[in-house]
Structures are given as structure tokens and as C-alpha cells.
Amino acid sequence: MTNLKELLQKQRDFVQIRQWDKFGSPKNLSMALAVEAAELMEEFMWLTDEQIESLASKHPERFQNVKEELADVLLYLLRIADKMQIDLLKSADEKIKKNETKHPVQQSIELAAKYS
């Protein structure tokens, strides 16, 4: 099974052998990431939550698109983190901790109740 590190190495090889690295500034890559995130939204935007839930069974080709858009987001995310020499897993781990402090449990439950 692939892990995140192996995936990054494959993506590095893919880019390097094509000599595409010169286009891959963090700025350009952040645009590409946002474009892929938008393409994911595009799959969902005219559907209801119920239609999205049955996407895999009723529209397998659209479900396949969703998979590929998620993959594209991850691949660009890995490249940006790599370029910036950021440990993505460590950053995410720290961010969860920060979020836990920022959003105390009881207060968050009450906020959720208010919006429901």
C-alpha cells in the first residue's frame, strides 16, 4: 500500500521527468489547488445531499470524477508542502490541536444547536 511519502515521491518523479518543475512555484501551485477544489465543487453544486449520497450507485462515472478531483487536490497539496519544506502531517496534527483549543467542546455543541 502507498503511503503519503511514496505518493509524494511518485509525484516528484512525474513532474521532474516532464521538466514541468519550472512552472511549479508555490504561487502557481496554489492556483492549481484552488482550481481542483473548484472542480470538485462542480461535481456537487447542482445536486442535493441525497443525490450526492447515491452518486456511487447511480452515477458511477461521476463518482469516479469525484475520486479524481480529490486525488488532484491531494497531489497539488503534497507538491506545495514539498516546495515549502512543510511536513504536512505534522502541520495537520498541530492544527487539530489548535482547533481543539479554539473551539471548546461545550461551546461548540451550543453553537451547533443554534444553527440547526
Tell me the closest approach of the beta carbon of residue 45 to its own copies, in angstroms.
4
CB closer to its own copies, 46 vs 61: 46
CB closer to its own copies, 49 vs 61: 49
Q: Which helix (H) or strand (E) holds 109?
A: helix 105-115
Tell me the closest approach of the beta carbon of residue 8 to its own copies, in angstroms.
10
Tell me the closest approach of the beta carbon of residue 61 to its own copies, in angstroms.
14
CB closer to its own copies, 11 vs 61: 11
DSSP 34-97: HHHHHHHHHHHTTS-HHHHHTHHHH-HHHHHHHHHHHHHHHHHHHHHHHHTT--HHHHHHHHHH
